[in-house]
């Protein structure tokens, strides 16, 4: 998954809240809190190649299911979220 994320071929969408994002996020990700995504998914999502990221992997799975129901292709959820990312020794961008 790390290769997919750093390749730039996917849109990395972090659906955590703003305060969680400011604690650190994956480089190149963009913030779209889950509530904003639910309010207007068509406005916030491209057509395909999305990796959703959250703290533990539960909210990102919810977002991936929503995107799938909208017919967006190639949708992924980062298993274990930011917690597993950092446990694997991968870096976050602060702020």
CATH class given for the domain over 2-87: alpha beta
Instruction: Provide the pLDDT for residue 44.
Output: 86
The encoded tokens of residue 84 equal: 């597993």
Which CB contacts under 8 angstroms, 24+ apart, belong to 57-63?
Answer: 57/81, 57/83, 57/84, 59/15, 59/16, 59/34, 60/15, 62/34, 63/13, 63/15, 63/34, 63/37
Whether this model's pTM surpasses 0.85: yes
DSSP element (H, E) containing 85: helix 81-87
For the chain, which residues make up each domain, given as ranges?
A: 2-87
- Mapped onto helix, strand or coil, the DSSP state of residue 74 is strand
Separation between Cα atoms, residue 42 and residue 64, nearest integer Å: 13
18-75 pLDDT per residue, tens = 999 999 999 989 999 999 999 998 888 877 899 999 999 999 999 999 999 989 989 9
């Amino acid at each position: 998954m790390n290769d997919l994320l750093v390749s730039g071929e996917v849109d990395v969408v972090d659906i955590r809240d703003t305060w969680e994002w400011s604690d650190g996020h994956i480089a190149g990700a963009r913030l779209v809190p889950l509530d904003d995504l639910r309010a207007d998914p068509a406005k916030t999502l491209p057509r395909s190649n999305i990796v959703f990221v959250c703290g533990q992997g539960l909210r990102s799975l919810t977002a991936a299911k929503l995107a799938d129901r909208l017919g967006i292709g190639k949708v992924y959820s980062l298993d274990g979220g930011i917690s597993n990312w950092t446990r694997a020794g991968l870096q976050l961008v602060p702020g």
